[in-house]
């Protein structure tokens, strides 16, 4: 089954009935585990606390369908939020209240540090603004996340001023209760799931994360489910880039007390992995999921930060000092794409928004298990948010955490095997995605072959999207992207593609204008790209004006060489060309934004003759090679990779130096069949063949 889009309008009567039926089933099967999501939304607008904190309170006091009881519970929650939740602008008021009454309970996020000089643990309150508040060591031992990032708690704070100990804080912590479920029976989920259809269960999960399923297309629902996979699968690496306002970071910030969002992307090796001074493991050892918001801002203050991250993403372990440490945290990278995807696919690659030190690091991106196409998720509107029953967020977070102990990585081996284009990393990525989606959709382990195939296709698509970008960054090393799976019963092979696959129409179909020519070459940075040269001839006195080359010396010299050869040899091509009676205007466009190349001589020579003879270059052709002023042809470096760049850009014919004939052996057959290679022996031969004249 292939996921397709379907239009959505207003909720119709059958959908209203289905919604009411789903509410009833949820309250019967998961009594006390669900909450009205409109209540969450209502409360969220008045209190700046994570959703799991709100729903923890709503689950305690308002998890009922009885109107009177619900209203009473809502009043209780409102009272707690107004009297106990600490708003930053009312911090002094709360401090005063603690002083006046001696002890007082508050809701705040606290983080703990060890003070070695005093040999005690001290808490810092996020909203209350207190630092250096003593906290008993037993709480730190019981809730070690206090030491890494901090957690939201219900805290009993005491005030006792001692004039003889003025250096100590008069505030101290008497008791804390983390905002989390006291217990979780995973069998309750397994038994309950069996009573729902797959479509119903998907809708339950959508509601539980705050989304209204009746307003979402089927494919969007799957994308939203994929955002949850890092919460159920150990060491899962996910990348999601897309437009602003699609809720990319919402799941990791608001919906789970087991994930942490690093805003702005800046961190240190000590904070993320291991602190050598305190001998404490970092975020990856304390959280189920570490998410980086705004990938463009990812910065490590340590030189070895990115390398250590690559090691961890590949193996789930890292070396720090003499020790090797293991951790299970998944890594999520979310960020914005400021261009249209069509433009990005044509001119660069879909990892381009990452910072410069990562943007062309194929080894780093090869660790990604899935690339979620954030541009396919609509920007959030009020009608996309759920108003009916869904799981209490803290309950579903514990369900997710329990599922991390299980694995479905071998689930499809009974029915399918993967195609030969998938290497070991590809296979691991697909298996982990399948496992994560099965944990979400079929936690009880009961699914059909067709349901499994649907998940397998989706998993292959996301990993192929990663591989397509690696092919653009790393060339032939990542050429094998025809991802497929084989049905063991029928031996039929199915190839899975990605919607935005290929370079599109960077080189448009059809014959271009005279004087226009496409050329592929290597920039100063080592990257391969495609360039467009445009020539125009006007009446004049033989001047040669060039634009688009900036201060690039190599490009300038290559273009001058081509013009000199053109003026010296024009009569060898056509007696009608009068070089001294015209001015020659040329402009070059760096279509992929990688910087100019030196290899423009042959292409520009063809462009000059094309303009002078008013005859276009052959359809969908790219020119390779460079020349000296004497007409000597230079070979193309990274030949196979250069051909791949031409194919990705939309070329059907490639003009190649004859000296490269032997190099065709280095090019995969799958690539050769996509182009028509045309060989030339010298510059004039290149002109004749490019213009298809004798």
Question: In terms of Cα–Cα distance, which of 552, 558, 688, 539 is closest to 625?
Answer: 558
Stronger pLDDT, 2 or 178, i.e. the higher one: 178
pLDDT band for position 303 (cuts 50, 70, 90): confident
Q: Which of 453, 420, 450 has the alpha carbon at shortest distance from 434?
A: 453
* Position 97 pLDDT exceeds 60: yes
Residue 257 has pLDDT above 70, yes or no: yes
Does position 100 have pLDDT exceeding 90, yes or no? yes
Nearby residues of 121 by Cβ (< 8 Å), 6 or more positions away: 112, 113, 114, 115, 134, 135, 136, 137, 140
Structure confidence at residue 675 (pLDDT): 92
Please report the pLDDT score of residue 503 as a whole number: 44
Tell how strand 330-336 and strand 544-547 pair up: unpaired
Q: pLDDT tens for residues 452-485?
A: 999 999 999 999 999 988 887 877 778 788 899 9
- Can you tell me the mean pLDDT for 61-80? 82
- Report pLDDT digits (tens) over 676-693: 999 999 999 999 999 998
The mean pLDDT of 514-532, rounded to a whole number, is 91
Q: What pLDDT was estimated at residue 501?
A: 65
| Separation in Å, CA 109 to CA 1, 87, 95, 153, 569 | 45, 11, 15, 6, 78
Lowest mean pLDDT among 138-142, 186-190, 562-566: 138-142
- SS3 call for 33: coil
**What pLDDT is stored for residue 258 in this prediction?**
86
Please check the confidence at residue 282 and state whether its pLDDT lies above 80.
yes
Please tell me which residue, 255 or 544, carries the higher pLDDT value. 544
Tell me the backbone φ, ψ of residue 524, rounded to 5 degrees: -60, -25
Residue 505's pLDDT band (boundaries 50, 70, 90)?
Answer: low
Q: Residue 235 and residue 223: Cα distance in Å, rounded?
A: 19
Q: How do beta strands 280-281 and 493-495 pair? A: unpaired
Instruction: Give the residue-averaged pLDDT of 55-66.
Output: 77
Whether the per-residue pLDDT at 280 is higher than 70: the answer is: yes
The confidence band for 14, taking pLDDT boundaries of 50, 70 and 90, is low
The confidence score (pLDDT) of residue 656 equals 96
Name the least confident of 370-374, 459-463, 593-597. Answer: 593-597
User: Residue 609 contacts by C-beta under 8 Å, 6 or more apart in sequence?
Assistant: 566, 570, 573, 574, 577, 687, 691
Per-residue pLDDT, 375: 94
pLDDT band at 273 (very low <50, low <70, confident <90, very high): confident
pTM confidence score:
0.72
Q: Count of H helices and E strands in the chain?
A: 25, 30
Q: Which of 296-300, 560-564, 579-583 has the lowest mean pLDDT?
A: 296-300
Lowest mean pLDDT among 30-39, 99-108, 425-434: 30-39
Q: What is the mean pLDDT of the chain?
A: 88
Highest mean pLDDT among 260-274, 585-599, 672-686: 672-686
Higher per-residue confidence, 9 vs 17: 17
- At 183 the pLDDT is 60
129-162 tens-digit pLDDT: 999 999 999 999 888 778 877 888 899 999 998 8
DSSP assignment letter at 65: S
pLDDT tens for 40-51 read 877 776 666 777
Q: How far is CA 364 from CA 115, 199, 266, 495, 499, in A?
A: 37, 36, 17, 26, 24
The pLDDT, as a whole number, for residue 220 is 96
**Residue of 404 and 254 predicted with greater confidence:** 404
Res 419 pLDDT > 80 = yes
Each domain of the chain, given as residue ranges in start order, spans 88-178, 406-495, 516-691
For a pLDDT cut of 70, what percent of the chain falls above it? 95
The predicted pLDDT at position 15 comes to: 62
Q: Is 6 left (phi over 0), alpha (psi -120 to 50) or beta?
A: beta
**For position 46, what pLDDT does the model report?**
64
Pick the CATH number of 516-691 from 3.40.50.880, 3.30.230.10, 3.30.460.10, 3.40.190.10: 3.30.230.10
Residue 161: per-residue pLDDT:
87
* Token reading at 254: 């608001």
Model confidence at 504: pLDDT above 60: no
At 2 the pLDDT is 44
Q: Give the model's confidence band at 8: pLDDT under 50 very low, under 70 low, under 90 confident, else very high.
A: very low
Is the confidence at residue 349, as pLDDT, over 60?
Answer: yes
Which helix (H) or strand (E) segment is 231 a member of? helix 229-232
Structure tokens at 123: 């808490």
Query: Which residues are CB-neighbours of 58 under 8 A, at least 6 positions away?
Result: 35, 36, 39, 40, 43, 73, 74, 77, 392
In tens, the pLDDT along 193-204 reads 999 999 999 999
Please tell me which residue, 445 or 152, carries the higher pLDDT value. 445
């Amino acid at each position: 089954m292939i996921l397709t889009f379907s239009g959505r309008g207003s909720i119709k009567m059958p959908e209203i009935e289905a919604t009411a039926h789903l509410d009833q089933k949820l309250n019967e099967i998961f009594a006390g585990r669900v909450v009205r999501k409109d209540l969450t939304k209502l409360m969220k607008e008045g209190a700046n606390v994570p959703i799991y904190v709100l729903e923890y309170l709503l689950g305690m006091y308002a998890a009922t369908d009885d109107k009177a009881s619900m209203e009473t519970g809502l009043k209780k929650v409102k009272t707690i939020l107004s009297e106990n939740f600490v708003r930053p602008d009312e911090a002094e008021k709360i401090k005063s209240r603690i002083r006046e009454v001696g002890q007082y309970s508050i809701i705040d996020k606290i983080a703990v540090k060890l003070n070695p000089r005093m040999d005690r643990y001290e808490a810092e309150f996020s909203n209350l603004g207190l630092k250096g508040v003593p906290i008993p060591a037993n709480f730190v031992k019981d809730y070690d996340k206090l030491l890494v990032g901090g957690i939201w708690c219900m805290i009993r704070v005491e005030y006792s001023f001692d004039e003889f100990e003025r250096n100590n804080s008069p505030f101290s912590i008497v008791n804390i209760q983390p905002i989390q479920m006291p217990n979780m029976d995973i069998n309750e989920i397994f038994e309950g799931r069996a009573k729902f259809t797959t479509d119903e269960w998907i809708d339950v999960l959508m509601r539980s994360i705050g989304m209204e399923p009746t307003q979402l297309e089927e494919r969007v629902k799957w994308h939203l489910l994929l955002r949850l996979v890092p919460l159920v699968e150990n060491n899962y690496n996910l990348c999601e880039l897309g437009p602003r306002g699609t809720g990319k970071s919402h799941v990791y910030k608001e919906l789970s007390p087991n994930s942490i969002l690093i805003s702005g992307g800046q961190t240190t090796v000590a904070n993320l992995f291991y602190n050598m001074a305190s001998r404490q493991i970092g975020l990856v050892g304390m959280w189920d999921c570490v998410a980086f918001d705004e990938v463009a801002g990812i910065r490590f203050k340590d030189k070895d930060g990115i390398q250590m991250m690559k090691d961890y993403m590949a193996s789930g372990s890292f070396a720090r000092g003499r020790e090797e440490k293991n951790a299970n945290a998944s890594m999520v990278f979310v960020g914005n794409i400021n261009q249209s995807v069509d433009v990005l696919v044509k001119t660069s690659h879909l990892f381009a928004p990452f910072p410069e030190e990562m943007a062309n690091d194929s080894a780093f991106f090869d660790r990604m298990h899935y690339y979620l196409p954030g541009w396919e998720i609509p920007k959030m509107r009020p009608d996309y948010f759920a108003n009916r029953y869904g799981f209490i967020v803290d309950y579903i977070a514990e369900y997710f955490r329990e599922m991390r102990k299980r694995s479905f990585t071998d689930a499809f081996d009974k029915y399918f095997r993967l195609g030969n284009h998938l290497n070991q990393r590809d296979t691991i990525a697909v298996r982990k995605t399948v496992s994560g989606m099965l944990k979400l959709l079929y936690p009880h382990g009961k699914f059909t072959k067709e349901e499994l195939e649907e998940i397998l296709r989706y998993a292959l698509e996301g990993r192929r999207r990663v591989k397509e970008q690696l092919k653009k960054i790393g060339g032939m090393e990542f050429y094998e992207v025809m991802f497929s799976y084989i049905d063991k019963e029928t031996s039929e092979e199915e190839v899975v593609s990605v919607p935005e696959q290929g370079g599109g129409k960077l080189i448009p179909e059809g014959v271009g204008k005279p004087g226009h020519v496409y050329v592929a070459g290597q920039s100063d940075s080592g990257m391969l790209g495609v360039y467009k040269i445009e020539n125009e001839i006007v009446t004049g006195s033989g001047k040669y004006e060039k634009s688009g080359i900036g201060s690039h010396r190599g490009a300038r010299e290559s273009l001058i060489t081509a013009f000199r050869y053109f003026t010296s040899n024009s009569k060898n091509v056509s007696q009608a060309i009068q070089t001294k009676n015209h001015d020659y205007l040329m402009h070059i466009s760096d279509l992929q934004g990688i910087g100019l190349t030196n290899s423009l001589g042959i292409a520009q020579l063809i462009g000059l003759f094309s303009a002078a003879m008013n005859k276009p270059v052959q359809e969908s052709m790219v020119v390779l090679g460079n020349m000296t002023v004497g007409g000597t042809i230079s070979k193309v470096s990274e030949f196979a990779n250069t051909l791949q760049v031409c194919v990705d850009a939309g070329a059907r014919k490639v003009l190649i130096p004859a000296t490269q004939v032997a190099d065709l052996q280095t090019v995969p057959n799958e690539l050769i069949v996509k182009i028509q290679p045309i060989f030339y022996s010298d510059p004039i031969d290149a002109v004749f063949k490019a213009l298809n004249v004798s």
